Amino acid sequence: QEKNNANAVSGPKRCPLCLVDNYDFRGETNMHDNGVPGIKTVVECQMGCAAEPKCKGFLFQHKTKQCHFKTSDNYLKSLHPDNEYVAGPKTCTGEHWCIMKDIGYEAMYTRRSQTNSAEECQNKCLNDEQCEYFTWQVSNKHCWLKHGPAIANSKYNRKGDHSAPKHCGLPTTCVKERTKYAGETVATFPKSEVGTFESCQMKCWKTSKCVFMHFNNDGCTLSGVNATAQTDANSKAGDITC
């Protein structure tokens, strides 16, 4: 028998992450010179952009609590590091939303491999402790992992190149240094598979039963709600639901 669910609300257990901290859409014109009136939180800023037909992406300024709507179709290509802002798109399409098409980074690389997509290349960057940015090329499927202070200012325009920072946003996590979790282990991954704390965070976020995680030289361990924290000098832990 069919039931009337007119008042029900549904959705995935955890939404895609579409806020990247410490980034600006540099040089892009704001719709309002002094911020969008009446908006004082990043959530309101995100919702306001989604409701505004002219808004393509948004910035939220940490210190002033100002929200800025960006109206250019090419706003994403101006993504640039800036500690004053958190940046996001009009619509959250997935964890790789910040990949810039037809943009590359010229600077030196730390590692080169081949991947089938820019998204796979970004995953490699997330999994590499040194990588801060990447460039992926359609023509040869080369994935270039890069790091260093000069990279952000080395952008170039080339059709078929795709680039982005290490990630397009991570789950809010209460980080605990020198800590690990024991009991109710959900999954474990060797460091060869999950090579960074950030990658471990994302694994936890994508695993429905995971609440706590810790990372050390052995790799990434995901734990459930009943796990207990223990002191461990070689581990770094987090609670992704805080």
Residue 9: inside a domain? no
Residue 95: inside a domain? no
pLDDT tens by residue, the chain, 242 residues: 444 444 433 334 455 679 999 999 999 999 999 999 999 999 999 999 999 999 999 999 999 999 999 999 999 999 999 999 999 999 988 999 999 999 999 977 788 999 999 999 999 999 999 999 999 999 999 999 999 989 999 999 999 999 999 999 998 889 999 999 999 999 999 999 999 999 999 999 999 999 999 999 999 999 999 999 999 999 999 998 77
pLDDT computed for residue 207 by the predictor: 94
Q: Are residues 161 and 125 in the same domain?
A: yes
Which of 140, 165, 190 is a domain's end point?
165
Q: Are residues 161 and 182 in the same domain?
A: no
SS3 42: helix
**Beta strand 185-190 pairing with 174-182:** unpaired
Q: Are residues 179 and 156 in the same domain?
A: no
Which of 143, 165, 187 is a domain's end point?
165
Q: Are residues 180 and 231 in the same domain?
A: yes
Q: Tokens representing 7?
A: 């008042």
Residue 8: inside a domain? no
Residue 14: inside a domain? no
- The pTM score is 0.87
Domain range for residue 203? Answer: 174-239
Residue 4: inside a domain? no
CA torsion, ordered 29, 86, 36, 33, to nearest 10 deg: -30
pLDDT computed for residue 107 by the predictor: 75
Please answer whether residues 58 and 49 qualify as being in contact, where contact means their C-beta atoms are separated by less than 8 angstroms.
yes
SS3 129: coil
Residue whose C-alpha is closest to residue 79's, from 163, 196, 182, 200: 163
Q: Are residues 78 and 47 in the same domain?
A: yes
Residue 94: inside a domain? no
pLDDT computed for residue 131 by the predictor: 96
CA torsion, ordered 55, 151, 95, 66, to nearest 10 deg: -40
Q: Are residues 159 and 178 in the same domain?
A: no
Count of domains for the chain: 3
Which of 89, 119, 144 is a domain's end point?
89
Residue 10: inside a domain? no
Q: Are residues 179 and 230 in the same domain?
A: yes
> What CATH number should be reported for the domain holding residue 125?
3.50.4.10
Q: Are residues 79 and 117 in the same domain?
A: no
Residue 13: inside a domain? no
153 DSSP assignment: G
pLDDT computed for residue 16 by the predictor: 60
What Cα–Cα distance (Å) separates residue 89 from each residue in 79, 194, 207, 211, 230?
Answer: 11, 27, 24, 27, 39
